[in-house]
Chains A and B, each alone.
Chain A
Amino acid sequence: DIVMTQSPDSLAVSLGERATINCKSSQSVLYNSNKKNYLAWYQQKSGQPPKLLIYWASTRQSGVPDRFSGSESETDFTLTISSLQAEDVAVYYCQQYYSTPWTFGQGTKVEIK
């Protein structure tokens, strides 16, 4: 199974400041035929289902604000919130869909400092 490891487990950021969440996969999730990383990011607010933010590691889902961005470097992935808003308080998860079983990181809790 591919193990996804997120860091940090939690972070507190001031409103308007940048938040950065890291995710590392235990093996490549790059599909050579299309050169895409099979990596998604989700946001889960308290009491709500997860919401897809990013897929293919860096493609923003329709309707997601452009302050959310994803980047990739081999087996290291980053979700960046460029200017944290109050409504961004949530737990964020990365997930690989390269191979089954699909696996998630443990989650990163983002709070306001």
Chain B
Amino acid sequence: VQLVESGGGLVKPGRSLRLSCTTSGFTFGDYAMSWFRQAPGKGLEWVGFIRNKAYGGTTEYAASVKGRFTISRDDSKSVAYLQMNSLTTEDTAVYYCTREFDYWGQGTLVTVSS
């Protein structure tokens, strides 16, 4: 099982960024995919998840990102996405993609700063 996040970087407040999570080693369509984040020096925070198609492919989000972030998936490519809009400095963190919550990627750093 491998998960590799990409798309992080430095972005100005108010701008958007899309993270990708490219996976291999398991049947992607059978699993929900989650995103977590960790601000520098802080603890872990759940961002949200997307269920697999068998459970409707529906999404759930943390209150802190609801309405600004969108999780999607492309089962044909085994990739999950995190679209982040209206970014603020509070969104600065390492973002982790996970298979449900058992396997984690290495993370990608998102820095929101002017």
Contacts and interface: CB of A to CB of B under 8 A. Distances in A.
B107 A93 contact: no
A103 B62 CA distance: 10
A93 B101 contact: no
B101 A52 contact: yes
B69 interface: no
A107 interface: yes
B104 A49 contact: yes
A64 to B, nearest CB: 11
Interface in A34-64: 40, 42, 44, 49-52, 55, 61
B55 to A, nearest CB: 14
Given A49-B96, A49-B107, A100-B60, A95 B101 contact: yes
Interface of A: 40, 42, 44, 49-52, 55, 61, 93, 95, 97, 100-107
Interface of B: 36, 43-46, 60, 62-63, 96, 101-107
A30 B104 CA distance: 25
A20 to B, nearest CB: 20
B62 A104 contact: no
Given A100-B60, A101-B62, A101-B63, A50 B104 contact: yes
Contacts of B36: 50
A49 B101 CA distance: 12
A13 to B, nearest CB: 21
Contact of B102 (A55, A100, A102): A55
Given A49-B96, A49-B107, A100-B60, A95 B44 contact: yes
16 contacts: A49-B96, A49-B104, A49-B105, A50-B36, A51-B104, A55-B101, A95-B44, A95-B101, A97-B101, A101-B46, A101-B62, A101-B63, A104-B43, A104-B44, A106-B43, A107-B43
Contacts of B101: 40, 52, 55, 95, 97, 102
Given A100-B60, A101-B62, A93 B43 contact: yes
Contacts of B43: 93, 104-107
